[in-house]
């Protein structure tokens, strides 16, 4: 069952006008709107943000996505882009998260999931992270654009809230309506809503969010 207020994160953006357009998706039924916008700072990603966009979100929270980056680089990007959250999408250790936490940062740790055993390591990151992000397991550090079997998340008994990611698109709306977990707090949208890498279709996102609440 869809929660009254899910966090909606749209990830992989860098075009100023496109950011402004997506951020403007607000006041939908049940107050479902775009709450967070993600910026990917992994150079190998086709959505890599090399330069600061001329427009950055003023209402939506800013999330910086890093893959096995250094502490110094992450802090530099936080200062330059005024990030609200740091999302770690690589093999970052609990010790690394603890060092970032000392800077007062809000952390999201991504985990690649295929079966219930993949959830075991989340316990090492409890308390250190504000949110987890559960994505589809694949051979690369980035997303695959495919969904995983969400039923395995019934094995997740942690106290850290999570965002659901991995191939979310119009074809999974019915499944999202049926999905339920006490720690499910949001969704992460990316490649299934693109016209081209890093260019989102705002109308498609708006239709998706409206359809979720019908």
pLDDT digits (tens, 9 = 90+) for 84-120: 999 999 999 999 999 999 999 999 999 999 999 999 9
**Comparing C-alpha atoms, which of 9, 1, 21, 4 is closest to residue 162?**
9
When the pLDDT of each residue in the chain is averaged and rounded to a whole number, the result is 92
At 210 the pLDDT is 87
pLDDT digits (tens, 9 = 90+) for 158-200: 999 999 999 899 999 999 999 999 999 999 999 999 999 999 9
Domain boundaries, the chain: 7-212
Question: Apex CA 109: angle with CA 24 and CA 200, to 5°?
Answer: 30
Give dist(CA 110, CA 100) in Å, integer: 15
Tokens read off for 77: 């990007």
Give dist(CA 214, CA 14) in Å, integer: 31
CB 170 within 8 A of CB 209: no
Does the 7-212 domain belong in CATH 3.20.20.70?
Answer: yes
Tokens read off for 136: 């589809």
pTM > 0.75: yes or no: yes
**Comparing C-alpha atoms, which of 68, 58, 54, 51 is closest to residue 37?**
58
């Amino acid at each position: 069952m869809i929660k009254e207020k899910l966090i909606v994160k749209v990830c992989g953006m860098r075009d100023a006008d496109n950011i402004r357009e997506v951020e403007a998706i607000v006041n939908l039924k049940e107050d479902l709107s775009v709450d967070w916008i993600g910026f990917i700072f992994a150079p190998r990603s086709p959505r890599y943000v090399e330069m600061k966009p001329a427009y950055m979100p003023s209402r939506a929270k800013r999330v910086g996505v890093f893959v096995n980056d250094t502490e110094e680089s992450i802090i530099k990007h936080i200062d330059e882009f005024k990030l609200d959250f740091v999302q770690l999408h690589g093999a970052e250790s609990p010790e690394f998260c603890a060092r970032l936490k000392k800077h007062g940062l809000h952390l999201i740790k991504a985990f690649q999931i295929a079966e219930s055993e993949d959830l075991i390591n989340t316990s090492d990151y409890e308390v250190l992270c504000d949110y987890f992000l559960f994505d589809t397991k694949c051979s690369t550090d980035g997303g695959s654009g495919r969904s995983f079997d969400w039923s395995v998340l019934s094995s997740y008994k942690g106290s850290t809230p999570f965002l659901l990611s991995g191939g979310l698109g119009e074809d999974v709306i019915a499944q999202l309506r049926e999905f339920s977990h006490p720690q499910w707090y949001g969704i992460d949208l990316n490649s299934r809503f693109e016209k081209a890498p890093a260019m989102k279709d705002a109308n498609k996102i708006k239709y998706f969010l409206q359809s979720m609440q019908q």
